[in-house]
Amino acid sequence: MSDDLWKMTAVEAVTRLKKREISPLDLIEASAKRIAAVEPDVNALPTLCLDRARDHAKRLMAGKDREAEGEAGWLAGLPVSIKDLTDVGGVRTTYGSPIFADHVPAKSHPLVERIERKGGIVVGKSNTPEFGAGGSTFNEVFGRTRNPWNTSLTCGGSTGGGSVSVATGEVWLAHGSDHGGSLRRPGTYCSTVGIRPSPGRVTRGTSNNLYSPQSVQGPMARNVADLALFLDSMAGFCPHDPMTFDAPAVSFSAAVARPVAPKRVAVSIDFGGRFELDGEIREICARMAQRFQELGCIVEEASPDFGPVDNVFMALRSQQFVVDRELQIQQHRDKIKPDIIWNTELGLEQTASRLAWAERERAALYRRMGAFFQTYDLFVTPGAPTAAFDVNLRAPATIAGKKLENYMAGSTLNSAITVTGSPAIAVPCGFDQYGRPVGLQLVGKPRGEAALLQAAVLYEQLIGLDRLLPIDPRPGTVPPSA
């Protein structure tokens, strides 16, 4: 069997699995060899479960565990990675925290159960910042994950390990999650694609914030067709999550196979001047966003009124941190990183009136966004305000020469979209003068993932950067700050 199986797209691999041209075991061994080759350089999958994966493959090959065969999102024995915030039964799951350094859950998260039911085979856990908090992937348990385009740089966060695992060909698909940009920022920094689905599209299962739309689960991949396939594997109603709803009658893969271009596209590089961007990022994204015209789209500069969205997001995020981390900080304060303590205490200090204000503002923004989408079919922004920065930093030192107020200040382009409840996808659009990937953030109508993916796949076909993946990790140096 060829050693180059890891170079196939997920769609190609699943097609060959269905035809029995290759077996799940073939792909596991190809994945294992690729992981051994690149892990020393990137540290994306610090925990492997290859024997568990082989057992799953043998059951599939024996005709067992195939009840979902024929359903949308059937993966037929394709190896995937699961973010280390999400339980896989019998596999070390640390959440990036020293508190849980030796934690082995007995039962898998409902989403992992769904992915495995759809024929996905878990081969490893992808690295994440501690409890997923941060725009750079590092923790005290496993250390830092490095960007394969330049291993001196960050891969972003918090689904950094997942993004790197698909960019380098360790696996074909990666699971992740997104609160303030954790599926979109690593996509932008690593030239992969990651979609933040609408709240309720994918189960969050065991979350204590089950009634909050802030954090979602979702997929990462090397190209949009692969991303649509994995979203089909994940989507649908789950009795463990009250916000979930049924999967669409027409699969996302089917929608991507017959794409329709958006008619009117709104572009805003800085949301009406409210956010800072490095100069080269601004220029590249402005130029590349205009290429939607080549698809026959009407492209106009326009932005919704985002109001005080940065303050709204931080109020809501801090409340979520209180729900998730208050009790842990009481018990293990010395083992939790300062950023998490700061964000949680910010929530503990804010008043009920402040939270009520944030909820009113979120509702008002949702209504303004709805009115905006009556005119436009797609909203396009930069994927991040800077290119990938030094892997040893928790956030970029500056944006457009200005120091950041806090570690979340580099994510406002993404977190503003989180507050709207709209789905958003990161798509590659080019490289800066130092060879660092640059991406766009495409935003669609609420629950409009199908149209969003269609716009993304048409743009991807136009630009063609997906054909550069997977890549071998490349050493490099840290470019000077903008």
Summarised one tens digit per residue, pLDDT across range 310-322 is 999 999 999 999 9
Per-residue confidence (pLDDT) for residue 318, from 0 to 100: 97
- What distance in Å separates the CA atoms of residue 298 and residue 375, rounded to the nearest whole number? 11
DSSP state of 305: -
Summarize the confidence of residues 174-187 as an average pLDDT.
98
Per-residue confidence (pLDDT) for residue 158, from 0 to 100: 97
Q: What percentage of the chain reaches a pLDDT higher than 70?
A: 100
33: burial class by Cβ within 10 Å (0-12, 13-18, 19+)? Answer: middle
Summarize the confidence of residues 357-384 as an average pLDDT.
98
Query: 192 pLDDT exceeds 70?
Result: yes
- Which has the closest alpha carbon to 199: 164, 230, 166, 238? 238
Per-residue confidence (pLDDT) for residue 2, from 0 to 100: 62
Band (pLDDT 50/70/90 cuts) for residue 96 is very high
Report the length, in residues, of the chain: 482
Per-residue confidence (pLDDT) for residue 407, from 0 to 100: 80
91: burial class by Cβ within 10 Å (0-12, 13-18, 19+)? Answer: buried
Q: What percentage of the chain reaches a pLDDT higher than 90?
A: 97
Domains located in the chain, CATH noted: 9-468 (3.90.1300.10)
| Cβ–Cβ < 8 Å for 182, 101 | no
Query: 1 pLDDT exceeds 60?
Result: no
Per-residue confidence (pLDDT) for residue 332, from 0 to 100: 98
Query: 4 pLDDT exceeds 70?
Result: yes
- Which has the closest alpha carbon to 385: 476, 482, 454, 242? 482
Q: What is the pLDDT of residues 395-430, one digit of tens each?
A: 998 999 999 888 888 899 999 999 999 999 999 999
* Omega cis (within 30) before 470: yes
- Which has the closest alpha carbon to 117: 156, 177, 162, 68? 68
Please give the full DSSP string across 62-118, using - where no structure is assigned: TT-S-TTTTSTT--SSEEEEEETTS--TTS---TT-GGGTT---SS--HHHHHHHHT
- What distance in Å separates the CA atoms of residue 269 and residue 83, rounded to the nearest whole number? 30
Q: What is the pLDDT of residues 441-457, one digit of tens each?
A: 999 999 999 999 999 99
Query: Whole-number mean pLDDT of the chain?
Result: 97
- C-alpha separations of 336 from 47, 105, 256 in Å: 21, 21, 42
- Can you state the angle between helices 352-372 and 412-420, rounded to 10 degrees? 80
Six-digit token string for 75: 């993966």
